[in-house]
Amino acid sequence: MSETFALGLGANVGDALETLTAAVYAIDDLDGVVVTDVSGVYRTPPWPAPPDPRAVPQDDFLNLAVVGVTSLSPLELLEELQLLEAAFGRDRDREVRWGPRPLDIDVLLVGEVELDTERLVLPHPRITERAFVLVPLLEVVPGGVLPGGQRLTEALAALAPIEDIELEVRLEEVPGGRLARPAGPSGPPAGFSRPGWCDVEVARDPGPIRNADVDADVDGAADVDGDADGAADVDGDADGGAR
């Protein structure tokens, strides 16, 4: 049984655009995972921001959203994404809460799954509270409705006015361009049922997607300048900083 997933990615250490581009490529390359669409890259201020006493001095984040299909369970997907974070330089033992991150990946949604465990909560418990998550996510799931019935557009409207999130670039505009796919059967994988939050067509071979064909493997991309300190957590917990 395959499920649709939605991820939020953020980075603000080293060349964040290069990191995000390579990370999308690496996610699509995971066994049992197919990326079907990628949002534009948005520049967002760190959260929490001054004058909040929890604020950590750091650069703006670049954020994007990824949707796709996976045959992995939510916890298996989480484990694979945490390995990717580590490969790109994230060190959970050294990072500062709400501080900089070389790469942060949040599991936002997996099908209609509702989960509440120590390691992973689905839907992400703060998905409706963060414009830097909702703005890119709505780009790839514009008619999205959460399992509880709340529309993503309604959640974003409740956060208005949104004045500090700017579209930085679309990955097809990055030199090197798009992630090429081998020829294969089109249409959703066997057993796939599209969840209500996802109104995009999901296919095994959707053709070129908004992604970048980066010539970098995960080990090479892990060479990111700076320490692994704070951003949105792949464990579904917002304790880390891309928030």
H or E element: which one contains 7?
A: strand 3-11
Catalytic site positions: 90, 101, 104, 106
State the sign of the Cα–Cα–Cα–Cα dihedral 130, 124, 209, 199.
Answer: negative
DSSP state letters, 18-86: HHHHHHHHHHHTSTTEEEEEE--EEEE--SS-TTSTT----PPEEEEEEEEEESS-HHHHHHHHHHHHH
Specify whether the CB–CB gap between 134 and 155 falls below 8 A. Answer: yes
**Cβ atoms < 10 Å from Cβ of 82:** 18
Closest CA relative to residue 144, chosen from 204, 195, 110, 94: 195
Q: How many CA atoms lie within 13 A of 185 on its CB side?
A: 4
Buried b (16+ CB within 10 A) or exposed e, 117-143: eeebbbbbebbbebbbbbbbbbbbbee
Residues 183 and 203: their CA atoms lie apart, in Å, by: 12
Instruction: Using only the alpha carbons of the chain, give its radius of gyration.
Output: 16
3-class DSSP state of 5: strand
